[in-house]
Structure 1
Amino acid sequence: MLKQRILTAIVLLLILVPAIVASNPVPFAALMLLAVVAAAWEWARLNGLQAAASYGLAAVALLMCGAAWALGWTQAALPQLWLVAGAAWVLIAAYLLKAGVPGWAPIPRALRLVVGVLALWVAWLAIAQAKWMGVNFLLSVFALVWMADIGAYFAGRRFGLRFTKNKLAPAISPGKSWEGVWGGALGVVLMALVWSWADRHFGAQVPSLYSRLWDFSPWLLLVSCVFLAGMSVAGDLVESLVKRSAGMKDSSHLLPGHGGVLDRIDAILPAVPLALMLLQFLDK
């Protein structure tokens, strides 16, 4: 399993890294579009659709993203969309996590499917825009999610095991603890401070998310990092809730050793649109 996991990670890196650093944003947007289509297929399966209907939902996601791309929305200013998407993520995630696993099944399946595809579409559009804004900005948002996850893992093991572990959502994801959440948030804040300093010190041509926030207010940087780290955890928990309701351990087996595409991007889905939402306040 470990060997398979490592090999899959290497292949993914060999594909993603050149697309991320390329000056042309098209290859990366196309790769992310493929990921979103696969995630839509997984979402359909998690909500009980059969083979043909699952492919149909994936086709809907493809058409929605393709239409946005053709209309030039990957480079357009869409402040209202980010505000609505950001507010929806906060409110819906709060509702679902409060309702827990028993609260998922009573929601009409059609509504679950529509909201899921919309979330994937908005995330793809936000990721495409982040790439268009520049590699430094894109990586700063992705790194926030990665650091929140890494920091949570090590803090959860170090402090959650040493002291009495305060379970975050035991009925949804028993392994997560509040120690991990705060450890991940602290890791994000420290990384953001170093990153924004490096931007200023080395004269980054494209400002990162952290530099944009720091230039407005260091306090906004602190609050935003904690908020985005928390929402990345919420995205992870929402997907875990759906999988637990469906009785599935992984969203699929598309990525050997890693589970499915949703398992890899669940924390990114709220983080990138919310990062773009925060930028709207800086530009006012």
Structure 2
Amino acid sequence: MLRQRVITAVVLLLLALPSLLAREPVWFALFSGVVVAAGAWEWSRLNQAGGASAYLSAILMAAGCAALWWLAAPPQTLNLLWWLALAVWVLGGAWVLRGGVAGWARAPRGARWALGLALLWLAWLALNQAKAVGVNHLLSILCLVWVADIAAYFGGRAFGRRKLAPAISPGKSWEGVWSGLAGVLLLALIWTAVDGLGWVDSPSLYSVLQARWGWLGLILVCIFLGAMSVVGDLFESLVKRAAGAKDSSRLLPGHGGVLDRVDALLPVFPIAVALGGL
């Protein structure tokens, strides 16, 4: 299993790097569009819309991304959209998690399908707006989620006692959450210091937040983003549990599906763009 996970990760990295480093942003938009289209396919299958409907969802997602890219809306015209996404994730996320697996299963299938596609589309849009700022900026958001997840895993294994949401994700603990948030704060401090050395192509999320909100604001926003990464993770776990699935699919050998890898990113990217004011 470990060998398979490593091989898959290396292949994904080799596919992602050229688009990430390419001068023309269209290549990253294309790569990320394929990723969210695969996520749309998985989402439909998890919400009882398999077969042709799942493939249609992927096509609709790809078409929606392509249409937005062609329209090329100026970033400043999307500010309201980012704040709306923040409200949806905070209020809607709390409502869905409180309702639990049974509550999600009772929701209309069409509404569940539309919500998932909208969240994927928003994440794709925010992802590409972050990339437009610069590679350093994009990586700083990605690493926030990755560090929160890794620190939570090791902190939970070492200190985990109190379960966070046993009915949704039995392996998560409150101690893991605190460890993840501590990892995010450490990352922010280190990355801000590296930005100050002038080695990067663009300001990181942390430098942008510090300039806009001050040091206290940077700490609070990083804690908030780390917490929202947990919400994204729990949300996808709830959907899988309602569907009776262990993984969102088997598209990524050793890793499960696309949604299993990007679930925590879905709320973080639009919220980071909103709070960064970009």
**Category of TM-score, reference length = shorter chain:** over 0.9
Tell me if the contact between 1:82 and 1:273 (Cα under 8 Å) persists in the aligned partners: yes
Partner of 2:203: 207
Q: CA separation of 1:115/1:202 partners in 2, compared to 1, >3 Å: closer, same or farther?
A: same
- Deviation at residue 77 of structure 1 after TM alignment: 4.0
Mapped pair 1:176 → 2:172: yes
By how many angstroms is 1:158 displaced? Answer: 1.3
Amino acid at match of 2:263: D
What's the offset of the Cα at 1:184?
A: 0.5
Q: Which residue does 1:276 correspond to in 2?
A: 273
Q: Measure the CA separation in 1 of the matches of 2:101 and 2:74.
A: 35
The answer to whether the 8 A contact 1:199-1:208 is kept is yes
Alignment correspondent of 1:194: 190
Q: Give CA deviations for 1:123-180 in whole Å, capped at 9, x if unaligned.
A: 00110111111001100000000000011011111111xxxx1100000000000111
Aligned to 1:87: 87
CA contact (8 A) 1:73 1:125 kept: no
Offset from partner CA, 1:157-209 (integer Å, 9 cap, x none):
1111xxxx110000000000011111001100011011011101236441111
> Across the two proteins, how many residue pairs are aligned to each other?
277
Match of 2:260 among 257, 260, 263: 263
**Alignment match, 2:229:** 232
Q: Determine what percentage of the aligned residue pairs are the same residue.
A: 54
Structure 1: segments with no counterpart, 5+ residues: none
Partner of 1:246: 243
**Counterparts in 2 of 1:1-284, with a 5 A limit?**
1-73=1-73, 77-160=77-160, 165-202=161-198, 204-216=200-212, 217-280=214-277
| Distance of 2:24 and 2:74 partners within structure 1 | 13
Alpha-carbon separation, structure 2, partners of 1:204 and 1:13: 21
Q: How has the CA–CA distance of structure 1 residues 147 and 53 changed in structure 2, closer, same or farther, with 3 Å as cutoff?
A: same
Shift of 1:67: 1.1
Contact 1:188 1:229 in 2 (8 A): yes
- Give CA deviations for 1:87-138 in whole Å, capped at 9, x if unaligned: 1111111111111111111110010011111001100011011111100110
Measure the CA separation in 2 of the matches of 1:58 and 1:166: 39
**Aligned structure 1 segments of 4 or more residues deviating by more than 6 angstroms:** none
